[in-house]
């Protein structure tokens, strides 16, 4: 009988896109109630009463008007936030992208088969690039399985933006150009761009419709390195992409005559290959969120692990043309701009402190044995670490994924709850007994879990408030008092979170971001069965913050929490 059943067809990458639900608009009253909860830890009684009064007036006045207009917008768009978010969070920002917007770091290849070794970089780069091109082909042929949360399909649109995508600077607003197409949609760019010693080369990754093999890719990369060896460095036009966005746009108009989108842009994915055979990346955050890149890196990582980092196919090299150098015509003014951009970028990077440590005392297994959620455990340890180091609560952003909705990206989850702060106070109060600390920790866990679930279900409040703010702005209205209230920014609103944090996943892939604010931290982490690996960033010019000290306090907080959970499971 089983032989007579039809074979189910494999799922296509984008097959669920048309059936995904629209992004909902939360209830105004509930969003404002959550907002009041979120500002409470940062307010005195007098300040909180003033904010409460502002919020009540907003709810029955201009807030309700703006909310009704947002509901109207949501009827016309499957995702009312999508365009706004891209503009407000990324394209309209005028600060230099490379440090303040891009995420850096994610790359596999280290933990199992490719320890650092000088002279291996070209061989490894050819193999890693081949696996990366296989991933491009999976998306192009729509054979990459759609991702799911349990049995619920997730939006896969961001995977279109991983390749063949660049951001182009504008005087007031940048623009994203995306040339990717699935095979069913038509032809698609298939070239690779290689940058070496300030020079830029390109070659087609396909020959007769087939992806170049690692030996063929090795030939192309070797050609570029050989051409650049012993020669003066090139002009390094790419340094201009590190500039303030309006400045870069003006330079592009002056220096890069012709169509800059064909030969230059802020790329969605840059794979960095170092001389010791290790890898990194730098990626524009505007087109997609980090989990897309993590998915690519994890795929490559697992392919390398399965093949022991070796190419086991043919060593034959077809007759393929060598890479072509892209030569820019630059005048002395442009060269001066490039030198200035390099200097400014160097100074900025020297101000950024980044530490990456592995906490190896325990990991996911020990936490789950105590029936606790590993992510919430780490978030509370981070809260306690900040509280101990800075003698007070730190407004905190944690990424919540909203990809169960059409073109969903992220929502803000605010881990610095009143329950978390009360628990931190209990942990540093020597007069507080173990039972009181346990009870406080349990309440903090429950609150975090509820807020994260709400955010993932489209019931967060930060994006909702952003929508109301942007409607007021578009209509030329005065900025509502809610957004001018000092507590709005102090609690993290408007991109002012002191702790910018995210779980990168349960894989071997890790990344890093710069702090949102000068007095803040970036805190990214990945969770494994036996360890937690963390990257922490801070600005050295702000003397009161220190990434290493935050990690040390985080480590001690982890031990305190495990001990508390062990003596009596929550």
Sheet bearing 199-204, strands edge to edge: 191-196, 199-204, 324-326
Tokens of 418: 């009143």
Q: How far apart are CA 562 and CA 570, in angstroms?
A: 11
Environment class of 73 (CB within 10 Å of its CB; exposed 0-12, middle 13-18, buried 19+): middle
Beta bridge partners of 505: 526
| HEC assignment per residue over 190-247 | CEEEEEECCEEEEEECEECCEECCHHHHHHHHHHHHHHHCCCCCCCCHHHHHHCCHHH
Q: Is 406 left (phi over 0), alpha (psi -120 to 50) or beta?
A: beta
Instruction: Give the dihedral sign, CA 440/441/445/446.
Output: negative
Residue ranges in 81-120 assigned as alpha helix (H):
82-86, 97-100
Q: How far apart are CA 405 and CA 307, in angstroms?
A: 37
Helix, strand, or coil (residue 525)? strand
Residue 141's φ and ψ, nearest 5 degrees, are -90, 0
Helix (H) or strand (E) holding 279: strand 279-283
Sheet bearing 270-273, strands edge to edge: 103-104, 279-283, 270-273
Which sequence positions are flagged as catalytic?
A: 285
Tokens of 323: 């890479």
Q: Which of 57, 33, 51, 99 is nearest to 490 (CA)?
A: 51
């Amino acid at each position: 009988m089983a032989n007579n059943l039809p074979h189910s067809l494999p799922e296509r990458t984008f097959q669920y896109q048309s059936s995904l639900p629209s992004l909902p608009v939360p209830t105004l009253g509930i969003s404002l109630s959550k907002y009041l909860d979120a500002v409470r830890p940062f307010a005195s009684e007098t300040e909180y009463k003033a904010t409460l009064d502002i919020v009540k007036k907003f709810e029955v006045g201009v807030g309700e008007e703006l909310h009704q207009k947002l509901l109207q917008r949501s009827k016309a768009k499957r995702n009312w936030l999508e365009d706004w978010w891209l503009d407000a969070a990324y394209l309209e920002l005028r600060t230099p992208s490379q440090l303040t917007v891009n995420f850096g770091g994610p790359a596999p290849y280290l933990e199992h088969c490719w320890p650092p070794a000088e002279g291996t970089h070209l061989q490894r780069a050819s193999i890693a690039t081949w696996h990366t091109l296989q991933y491009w082909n999976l998306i192009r042929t729509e054979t990459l399985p759609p991702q799911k949360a349990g049995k619920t399909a997730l939006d896969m649109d961001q995977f279109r933006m991983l390749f063949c995508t660049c951001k182009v600077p504008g005087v007031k607003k940048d623009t994203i150009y995306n040339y990717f197409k699935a095979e069913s949609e038509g032809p698609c760019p298939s070239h690779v761009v290689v940058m070496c010693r300030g020079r830029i080369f390109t070659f087609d990754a396909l020959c007769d419709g087939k992806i170049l093999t690692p030996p063929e890719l090795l030939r192309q990369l070797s050609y570029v390195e050989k051409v650049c060896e012993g020669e003066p460095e090139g002009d390094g036009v790419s340094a201009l992409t590190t500039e303030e966005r309006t400045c870069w746009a003006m330079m592009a108009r002056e220096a890069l005559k012709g169509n800059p989108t064909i030969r230059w842009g802020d790329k969605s994915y840059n794979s960095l290959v170092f001389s010791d055979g290790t890898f990194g990346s730098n990626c524009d955050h505007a087109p997609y969120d980090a989990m897309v890149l993590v998915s690519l890196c994890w795929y490559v990582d697992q392919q390398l692990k399965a093949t022991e980092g070796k190419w086991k196919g043919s060593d034959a090299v077809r007759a393929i043309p060598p890479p072509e150098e892209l030569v820019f015509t630059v005048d002395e003014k442009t060269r001066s701009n490039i030198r200035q951009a390099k200097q400014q970028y160097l100074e900025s990077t020297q101000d950024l402190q980044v530490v990456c440590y592995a906490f190896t005392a325990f990991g996911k297994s020990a936490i789950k044995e105590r029936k606790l959620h590993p992510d919430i455990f780490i978030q509370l340890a981070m809260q306690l670490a900040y509280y101990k180091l800075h003698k007070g609560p730190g407004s905190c952003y944690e990424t919540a994924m909203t990809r169960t909705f059409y073109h969903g990206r992220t929502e803000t989850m605010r881990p610095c709850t009143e329950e978390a702060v009360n628990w931190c106070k209990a942990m540093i109060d020597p007069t507080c007994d173990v039972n009181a600390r346990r009870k406080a920790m349990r309440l903090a866990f429950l609150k975090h879990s509820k807020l994260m679930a709400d955010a993932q279900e489209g019931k967060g409040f930060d994006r909702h408030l952003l929508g109301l703010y942007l409607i007021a702005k578009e209509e030329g209205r005065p900025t509502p008092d809610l957004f001018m209230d000092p507590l709005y920014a102090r609690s993290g609103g408007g991109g002012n979170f002191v702790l910018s944090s995210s779980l990168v996943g349960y894989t071997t892939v890790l990344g890093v971001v710069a702090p949102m604010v000068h007095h803040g931290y970036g805190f990214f982490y990945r969770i494994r069965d036996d360890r937690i690996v963390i990257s922490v960033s801070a600005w050295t010019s702000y003397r009161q913050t220190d990434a290493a000290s935050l990690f040390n306090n985080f480590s001690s907080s982890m031990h305190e929490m495990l001990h508390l959970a062990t003596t009596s499971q929550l």
